[in-house]
Amino acid sequence: MSQDRNYNKKQNEKDKEYDSRVLDIARITRVVAGGRRFRFRAVVVMGDGKGKIGIGLAKGADVALAVEKATHQAKKHLEVIKIKNGTISHLVAAKYSAAKIILMPAKHGRGIVAGGAVRAVCELAGIKDVVAKIISRSTNKLNNARATLVALRKLKA
Mean pLDDT by 10 residues, the chain (157 residues): 61 75 96 96 96 97 97 96 92 96 95 94 96 95 96 88
Where in the chain are the domains? 2-79, 82-153
Q: Are 120 and 54 in contact (CB under 8 A)?
A: no
CA atoms within 13 A on the CB side of 25: 16
* pLDDT, position 156: 84
Q: Angle 89-143-47 (CA atoms, 0-180°, nearest 5)?
A: 55
Which CATH code, of 3.30.230.10, 3.40.50.740, 1.25.40.10, 2.40.10.10, is assigned to 82-153? 3.30.230.10
* pLDDT, position 149: 96
CA atoms within 13 A on the CB side of 23: 30
Q: Are 83 and 112 in contact (CB under 8 A)?
A: no
Q: Does domain 2-79 have CATH number 1.10.10.10?
A: no
* pLDDT, position 13: 62
* pLDDT, position 51: 93
* Rounded Cα distance, 22 and 54, in Å: 12
